Chains A and B, each alone.
Chain A
Amino acid sequence: GNSVTQMEGPVTLSEEAFLTINCTYTATGYPSLFWYVQYPGEGLQLLLKATKADDKGSNKGFEATYRKETTSFHLEKGSVQVSDSAVYFCALGSIQGAQKLVFGQGTRLTINP
Chain B
Amino acid sequence: ETGVTQSPTHLIKTRGQQVTLRCSSQSGHNTVSWYQQALGQGPQFIFQYYREEENGRGNFPPRFSGLQFPNYSSELNVNALELDDSALYLCASSVGTSGGDTQYFGPGTRLTVL
A binds B: no
What is A's interface to B at a CB cutoff of 8 Å? none
